[in-house]
Structure 1
Amino acid sequence: MSLLAATNLHAGYGGMNILEGVDIAIDAGEIGVIVGPNGAGKSTTLKALFGLLRIGEGSVVLNGVDITNAPPDSLVSHGMSFVPQEKNVFLTLSVHENLEMGAFIRRDDYSHLLDHVYDIFEPLKAKRNQPAGELSGGQRQMVAIGRAMMTEPRLLLLDEPTAGLSPLFMSEIFDRIIAINATGVGILMVEQNAKQALKIAHRGFVLASGQNRFTDTGQALLDDPEVARSFLGG
Structure 2
Amino acid sequence: MSILSLQGVVAGYGSAPILNGLDLALDEGDIGVIVGPNGAGKSTTLKAVFGLLAVSDGCILLRGEDIANRPTESHAGRGLAFVPQEHNVFRTLSVQENLDMGAYVRRGERAALLDRVFEIFPPLKAKRAQPAGELSGGQRQMVAVGRALMSDPSVLLLDEPTAGLSPLYMSELFDRVVAVNRTGVTVALVEQNARQALGIATRGFVLAGGRMRFTGTGAELLADPDVARSFLGG
Task: Output aligned runs, 1:191-230, within 5 Å.
Answer: 191-230=191-230
Letter in 2 for 1:190: V
* Shift in Å, 1:106: 3.0
* Shift in Å, 1:74: 1.1
Partner of 1:232: 232
Give me the whole-angstrom Cα distance separating, in 2, the residues matched to 1:26 and 1:11: 19
Give me the whole-angstrom Cα distance separating, in 2, the residues matched to 1:74 and 1:167: 36
Letter in 1 for 2:27: D
Give me the whole-angstrom Cα distance separating, in 2, the residues matched to 1:105 and 1:201: 29
1:86 and 2:86 are equivalent in the alignment = yes
Which structure 2 residue ranges, 5 or more long, are not aligned? none
Partner of 2:51: 51
Partner of 2:101: 101
Partner of 1:116: 116
* Shift in Å, 1:107: 3.8
Corresponding residue SS for 1:174? helix
**CA contact 2:76–2:105 (8 Å) conserved in 1:** no
Give me the whole-angstrom Cα distance separating, in 2, the residues matched to 1:16 and 1:81: 27
TM score, norm. by length of structure 1 = 0.98
* Shift in Å, 1:105: 2.6
Task: Output aligned runs, 1:22-37, within 5 Å.
Answer: 22-37=22-37
Give deviations 1:158-188, integer Å, cap 9, x for gaps: 0001000000000000000000001110000
Give me the whole-angstrom Cα distance separating, in 1, the residues matched to 2:29 and 2:106: 24
Corresponding residue SS for 1:161? coil
* Shift in Å, 1:65: 1.5
* Shift in Å, 1:109: 3.9
TM score, norm. by length of structure 2 = 0.98
Letter in 1 for 2:53: L
Give me the whole-angstrom Cα distance separating, in 1, the residues matched to 2:105 and 2:195: 37
* Shift in Å, 1:222: 0.3
Give me the whole-angstrom Cα distance separating, in 1, the residues matched to 2:66 and 2:195: 32
Corresponding residue SS for 1:29? coil
Partner of 1:143: 143
Structure 1 outlier segments of 4+, above 3 Å: none
Corresponding residue SS for 1:110? helix
- How many residues were matched structurally? 234
Letter in 2 for 1:69: N
Structure 1, 188-197 or 101-110: larger mean CA deviation: 101-110
Task: Output aligned runs, 1:8-27, within 5 Å.
Answer: 8-27=8-27
Identity rate of aligned residues, in percent?
Answer: 66
Give me the whole-angstrom Cα distance separating, in 1, the residues matched to 2:45 and 2:60: 11
Give deviations 1:95-136, integer Å, cap 9, x for gaps: 000000001233414111111100100011110000000000
Partner of 1:125: 125
Which structure 1 residue ranges, 5 or more long, are not aligned? none
